[in-house]
């Protein structure tokens, strides 16, 4: 299995490097123009058509090839969206940047890139970057420069680890729950909700009625919010992946795409409620879990929408549909087992079982896996589920979906 990751840091560019970034952007736009006017989207044909056009640009020829390749990527993405019937604009690179696959070197703790004839620019790499690069079998594939940051794309050949169990991951607005029949762990994410609320109130406090300024401010504070929300998410997902690796459990994720459709204008919800639900970064959690798991060779099972159905409302012990009650918050009632169960716990147990079914099926022995019960039935009252909390306070009752 092939795993990719990006490690990014800040750096101080020189005037010459900034000029190079602008040149690169211009070259990409020249290639895009040629591609759009001729309808060419393959790398080979585009390089034949545009290499000569790039002659007036004064920069190492490495970057000319990379600009063509970058433009090809953009054109290919555009063709794909057109094929899918999505509305697309003519692409145009606005921000100055530079992507290159060759010509660079990492030596003496810095990244050396060519900027002209026998002239180089050294970017000192910080401790974190160097520690990531020092990992065994890591190869640097390319680098990306912007005016403030340098990103190194690194790859590694990973061997997928053999898992003998599965563990579900249930995503909620204020919590992340991970576990299976043996153990369930809650990760409190209510901090992210507070961050989003604060950002909204800051944005609402700006009263000037100018769309351009409003957009600028919203962009700035939106980025700040995203960065602040990422931290608790990274912490939780890191721990989940580490635990799963230790216990040799494959992660099982539900399919909750389309959740945003539930919280739109005209759906009979309040503005505040919709705003809260729409700043929930469920997709970011999935992205983090997936890349982190892939980097260490941990398998991730994505359930289909049909397999996800009813995971948080079916009793894991008897299969009965659970009832919710306003006075019981996130607890659900099973009328056959006569007990209250935590919604998140129910969800992760069901997810891990459904994932296991898929897992057994994919391992071969389709008939056998379907015929036999994938998990021994839990005896009510005896196999009590252990719930441990990563934070001292329990997650408060919250909106369900």
Q: In the complex, which residues of this chain contact Zn ion (CB under 5 A)?
A: 315, 317-318, 320, 334, 336-337
Give the shortest CB-318-to-Zn ion separation in angstroms.
3
Give the shortest CB-316-to-Zn ion separation in angstroms.
8
Q: Which CB sits closer to Zn ion, 294 or 317?
A: 317
Give the shortest CB-277-to-Zn ion separation in angstroms.
29
Q: Which CB sits closer to Zn ion, 18 or 318?
A: 318
Q: Which CB sits closer to Zn ion, 286 or 350?
A: 350
Give the shortest CB-340-to-Zn ion separation in angstroms.
11
3-state secondary structure the chain: CEEEEEEEEECCCCHHHHHHHHHHHHHHHHHHHHHHHHCCCCHHHHHHHHCHHHCCCCCCHHHHHHHHHHHHHHHHHHHHHHHCCCCCCCCCCCCCCEEECCCCEEECCEEEEEEECCEEEEEECCHHHHHHHCCCCCEEEEEEECCCEEEEEEEEECCCCCCCEEEEEEECCCEEEEECCCCEEEEECHHHHHHHHHHHHHHHHCCCCCHHHHHHHHHHHHHHHHHHHHHHHHHHHHHHHHHHHHHCEEEEECCCCCHHHHCCCCCCCCHHHHHHHHCCCHHHHHHHHHHHHHHHCCCEEECCHHHHCCCCCECCCCCCECEECHHHCCEEEECCCCEEEEHHHHHHHHHHHHHHHHHHHHCCCHHHHHHCCCCCCCCCCCCCCCEEECCCCCCCCCCCC
Give the shortest CB-314-to-Zn ion separation in angstroms.
9
Give the shortest CB-351-to-Zn ion separation in angstroms.
17
Q: Which CB sits closer to Zn ion, 195 or 350?
A: 350
Q: Which CB sits closer to Zn ion, 243 or 375?
A: 375
Q: Which CB sits closer to Zn ion, 115 or 378?
A: 378
């Amino acid at each position: 299995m092939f795993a990719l990751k990006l490690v990014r840091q800040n750096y101080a560019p020189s005037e010459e490097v900034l000029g190079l970034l602008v040149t690169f952007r211009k070259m990409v736009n020249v290639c895009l123009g040629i591609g759009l006017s001729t309808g060419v989207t393959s790398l080979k044909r585009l390089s034949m058509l545009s290499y000569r056009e790039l002659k007036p640009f004064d920069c190492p020829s490495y970057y000319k090839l990379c600009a063509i390749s970058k433009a090809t990527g953009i054109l290919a993405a555009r063709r794909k969206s057109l094929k899918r019937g999505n509305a697309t604009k003519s692409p145009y690179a606005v921000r100055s940047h530079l992507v290159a696959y060759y010509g660079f070197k990492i030596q003496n703790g810095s990244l050396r890139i060519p900027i002209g004839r026998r002239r180089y620019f050294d970017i000192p790499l910080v401790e974190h970057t160097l520690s990531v690069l020092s990992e065994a079998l890591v190869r640097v594939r390319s680098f990306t420069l912007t005016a403030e940051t340098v990103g190194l794309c690194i790859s590694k050949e990973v061997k997928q680890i053999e898992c003998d169990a599965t563990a579900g991951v249930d995503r909620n607005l204020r919590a992340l729950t991970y576990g299976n029949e043996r153990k369930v762990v809650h990760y409190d994410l209510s901090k992210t909700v507070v961050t989003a609320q604060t950002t909204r109130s800051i944005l609402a406090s700006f009263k000037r009625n100018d769309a351009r300024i409003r957009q600028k401010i919203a962009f700035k504070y939106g980025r700040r919010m995203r960065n602040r929300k990422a931290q608790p998410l990274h912490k939780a997902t890191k721990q989940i992946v580490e635990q799963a690796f230790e216990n040799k459990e494959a992660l099982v994720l539900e399919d909750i795409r389309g959740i945003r459709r539930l919280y739109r204008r005209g759906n009979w919800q309040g503005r505040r409620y919709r705003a809260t639900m729409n700043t929930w970064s469920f997709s970011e959690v999935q992205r983090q879990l997936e890349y982190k798991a892939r980097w260490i060779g941990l398998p991730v099972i994505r359930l289909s929408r049909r397999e996800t159905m009813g995971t948080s409302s079916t009793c894991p012990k008897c299969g009965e549909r659970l009832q919710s009650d306003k006075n019981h918050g996130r607890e659900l009632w099973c009328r056959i087992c006569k007990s209250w169960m935590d919604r998140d716990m129910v969800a992760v147990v069901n997810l891990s079982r459904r994932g296991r079914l898929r897992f057994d099926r994919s391992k071969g022995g389709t008939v056998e896996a379907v015929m036999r019960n994938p998990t021994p039935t839990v005896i009510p009252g005896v196999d009590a589920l252990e719930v441990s909390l990563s934070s001292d306070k329990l997650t408060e009752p919250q909106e369900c979906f």
